[in-house]
């Protein structure tokens, strides 16, 4: 029963909150949708810590995609042995994870010790940091555990990954996931909590990563906003004033 709730219901609840929350916030809170950068207050530490963390987490996300979405049979079909895959996952994933953790620790230390940065930290931020760090730590734990606990550790590509893929066809493979060890359960749960919090924190800036910058023209022309102000005179019936252009932009 618990398994059904955790691995059959919670993921969909999380997705509903993530998607619904993001859409709602995008519509409601454009003005609050920002990175809330604190670079103006402190730049030296940020200049190291922030890229380390961000590039680290991008690598981690790529690794998650590789491990969760691409089935084991596919990698084997192109001749990648389980050992080779596993070594890569641990080595590259481990480095990325340690960079991410190191980066965020530096960022949090900076946030705590630089007066103006700490003053600009909201409760919302603090909550988010706790969950984010927990997700990173538990994730790193699952990776490092399989290095130090001997053998190959747990092969999540036979438990977690099939479950993850099954979610997308609305046939959750609860059994597979339930068979995964506790450390994976913990990481997944904290991860789901993080995604549920996502739309309501400053993390939303990731959703507006400015890739379109690569394609847009340098100079942007835009017509003045013409909105009807409250109390303004509405459009009058009858003749249009002299100079009205065809097909008004409104």
Partner 1 sequence: MKVMAQVGMVMNLDKCIGCHTCSVTCKQAWTNRAGTEYVWFNNVETRPGQGYPRRYEDQERWRGGWELNRRGRLKLKAGGRVKKLLGIFASPVQPELNDYYEPWTYDYETLTEAPLGDDFPVARPKSLITGENTKIEWSANWDDNLGGTSQLGHLDPIVEKIRKESEDKIKFEFEQTFMFYLPRICEHCLNPSCMASCPSGAIYKREEDGIVLVDQDRCRGWRQCVTGCPYKKMYFNHKTGKAEKCTFCYPRIEVGIPTVCSETCVGRLRYLGIFLYDADKVTEAASVPDEKDLYQAQLDLMLDPNDPEVIAAARAEGIPEDWLDAARRSPVYHLAKVYKVALPLHPEYRTMPMVWYVPPLSPVVDLLSDQGHDAEDADNLFGAIEALRVPVEYLAELFTAGDMEIVTGVLRKLAAMRAYMRGISLGNDPEESIPVSVGMNGERMYEMYRLMAIAKYNERYVIPKAHVEQAHNLEEMGCSLDFEDGPGMYASDAFGEASGRPTPVAVENFYALKQRQTTGGHFEPGELRGRVNLLNWDGRGVPRGMFPEQDNPQMSPDSPAHEGGAAGPGPDAGGPSDQAGPSGNPLESRP
Applying CB under 8 A, which part among 14-22, 111-119, 161-169, 188-196 lies near partner 1?
111-119
One character per residue 64-83, x = contact with partner 1 (rule: CB under 8 A): --------------------
DSSP-based three-state secondary structure for 128: helix
What DSSP designation does 248 have?
Answer: -
**Distance (Å, rounded) from C-alpha 215 to C-alpha 108?**
35
Question: Quick one: which of 1, 78, 119, 169 contacts partner 1 (CB under 8 A)?
Answer: 119
User: With binding defined as CB under 8 A, does residue 113 bind partner 1?
Assistant: no
**Distance (Å, rounded) from C-alpha 2 to C-alpha 16?**
20
Tokens matching residue 26: 């995008």
By the 8 A CB rule, do 176 and 163 touch? yes
How far apart are CB 159 and partner 1 at their closest, in Å? 34
User: With binding defined as CB under 8 A, does residue 212 bind partner 1?
Assistant: yes
How far apart are CB 168 and partner 1 at their closest, in Å? 30
* Residue placing its CB nearer to partner 1 in the complex, 35 or 88: 35
Tokens matching residue 201: 């924190």
Applying CB under 8 A, which part among 4-12, 135-143, 158-166, 231-239 lies near partner 1?
231-239
Query: How many chain residues are in contact with partner 1, going by CB under 8 A?
Result: 62
**Distance (Å, rounded) from C-alpha 56 to C-alpha 151?**
27
User: With binding defined as CB under 8 A, does residue 224 bind partner 1?
Assistant: yes
Contacting partner 1 within 10-49 (CB under 8 A): 25, 28-43, 46-48
Applying CB under 8 A, which part among 65-73, 113-121, 135-143, 155-163 lies near partner 1?
113-121
Max Cα-Cα span within the chain:
86
| φ, ψ dihedrals at 80, nearest 5° | -95, 115
By the 8 A CB rule, do 184 and 141 touch? no
Closest CA to 10 of 127, 137, 249, 172: 172
How far apart are CB 210 and partner 1 at their closest, in Å? 3
* Residue placing its CB nearer to partner 1 in the complex, 34 or 82: 34
Vertex 99, ends 95 and 101: CA angle to 5°?
115
| φ, ψ dihedrals at 101, nearest 5° | -65, -45
Q: Contact positions toward partner 1, by CB under 8 A?
A: 25, 28-43, 46-48, 50-51, 53-55, 115-116, 119-120, 122, 124-125, 200-202, 205, 208, 210-214, 216, 218-224, 226-233, 241, 243-245
């Amino acid at each position: 029963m618990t398994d059904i709730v955790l691995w059959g219901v919670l993921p969909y609840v999380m997705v509903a909150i993530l998607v619904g929350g993001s859409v709602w916030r995008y519509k409601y809170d454009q003005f609050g949708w920002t990175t809330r950068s604190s670079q103006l207050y402190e730049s030296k530490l940020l200049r190291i810590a922030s890229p380390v963390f961000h590039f680290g987490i991008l690598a981690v996300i790529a690794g998650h995609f590789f491990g969760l979405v691409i089935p084991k049979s596919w990698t084997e079909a192109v001749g990648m042995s389980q050992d080779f895959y596993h070594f890569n996952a641990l080595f590259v994933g481990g480095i990325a994870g340690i960079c991410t953790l190191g980066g965020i620790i530096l960022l949090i230390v900076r946030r705590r010790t630089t007066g103006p940065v700490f003053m600009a930290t909201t409760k919302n931020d603090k909550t988010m940091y706790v969950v984010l760090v927990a997700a990173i730590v538990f994730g790193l734990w699952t990776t490092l555990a399989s290095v130090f606990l001997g053998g190959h550790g747990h092969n999540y590509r036979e438990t977690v990954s099939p479950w993850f893929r099954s979610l997308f066809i609305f046939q959750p493979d609860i059994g597979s996931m339930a068979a995964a060890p506790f450390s994976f359960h913990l990481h997944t749960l904290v991860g789901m909590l993080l995604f549920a919090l996502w739309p309501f924190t400053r993390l939303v800036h990731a959703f507006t990563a400015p890739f379109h910058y690569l394609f847009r023209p340098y100079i942007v022309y835009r017509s003045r906003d013409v909105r009807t102000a409250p109390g303004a005179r509405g459009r009058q019936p009858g003749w249009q004033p002299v100079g009205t252009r065809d097909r008004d932009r409104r």
